[in-house]
Amino acid sequence: MKRLLRLCTILRTVWRFGLDEAALSHLKYRWAAGLFQIIRRGRVFDAPRGVRIRCAFEHLGPIFVKFGQILSTRRDLLAPDIADELAKLQDQVPPFDSDRAIAVIEAALGQPVKAVFEDFEQTPKASASIAQVHFARLKTGAGANAGRPVAIKVLRPGMQAAIERDLALLHPLARWIERWWEDGRRLKLREVVDEFDTILHHELDLMREAANASQLRRNFAGSKVLQIPEVIWPFCSTNVLVMEWMEGVPVSQIETLRQAGVDLPKLARDGVEVFFTQVFRDGFFHADMHPGNILVSLDPAHFGSYIALDFGIVGVLSDFDKNYLAQNFLAFFKRDYHRVARLHVESGWVSPDTRVEELEGAIRAVCEPHFNKALKDISLGQVLLRLFQASRRFQVEIQPQLTLLQKTLLNVEGLGKELDPELDLWKTAQPYLERWVKAQVGWRGWLERFRLETPQWSRTVPQLPRLVYQALSAKAEDATARNEKLILQMIDETRRTRRLLRIAFLFGCAAFITGLLIYFRI
pLDDT of residue 226: 95
Alpha-carbon span 331 to 343, nearest angstrom = 10
Torsion of CA 170, 175, 176, 181, to 10 degrees: 110
Alpha-carbon span 497 to 236, nearest angstrom = 79
pLDDT of residue 248: 92
Q: Exactly one of 91, 166, 288, 310 is catalytic; which is it?
A: 288
Helix ranges, 284-336 (H):
319-333
pLDDT of residue 259: 94
pLDDT of residue 212: 95
The DSSP code sequence of 428-471 is HHHHHHHHHHHHHHSHHHHHHHHHHHHHHHHHHGGGHHHHHHHH
Tens digits of per-residue pLDDT, 15-62?
777 676 655 555 455 555 555 555 555 566 677 778 888 888 877 877
Alpha-carbon span 134 to 242, nearest angstrom = 10
Q: Are strands 294-296 and 306-308 parallel, antiparallel or unpaired?
A: antiparallel
Alpha-carbon span 133 to 126, nearest angstrom = 5
**Mean pLDDT score, 75-103:** 75
pLDDT of residue 169: 76
Tens digits of per-residue pLDDT, 184-209?
565 566 777 787 788 778 888 999 99
Top mean-pLDDT range of 95-104, 173-182, 371-380: 95-104
pLDDT of residue 327: 77
Strand (E) positions, 131-176? 131-138, 149-155
Contacts 24+ apart (CB under 8 A), 32-39: 32/180
| Residue closest to 340 by CA, chosen among 355, 324, 353 | 324
Confidence of residue 263 (pLDDT cuts 50, 70, 90): very high
Of 33-47, 276-290, 382-396, 507-521, minimum mean pLDDT range: 33-47
**Mean pLDDT score, 81-109:** 81
- The full set of domain ranges for the chain reads 1-90, 93-245, 249-441, 457-522
Which tops the pLDDT comparison, 271 or 439?
Answer: 271
Q: Are strands 131-138 and 126-127 parallel, antiparallel or unpaired?
A: antiparallel
Quote the pTM value: 0.70
> How would CATH label the architecture of 93-245?
2-Layer Sandwich (3.30)
Alpha-carbon span 79 to 388, nearest angstrom = 12
pLDDT of residue 176: 76
Alpha-carbon span 166 to 103, nearest angstrom = 25
Confidence of residue 73 (pLDDT cuts 50, 70, 90): low
Mean pLDDT for the chain overall? 77
Residue 205 annotated as catalytic: no
**Mean pLDDT score, 359-370:** 80
Rg (CA), the chain: 33
Residue 199: CB partners within 8 Å, gap ≥ 6? 70, 312, 313
Tens digits of per-residue pLDDT, 432-448?
777 777 776 666 666 66
Tens digits of per-residue pLDDT, 108-165?
999 999 989 988 999 998 887 788 899 999 987 556 677 889 999 999 888 877 778 7
pLDDT of residue 141: 59
**Mean pLDDT score, 486-505:** 69
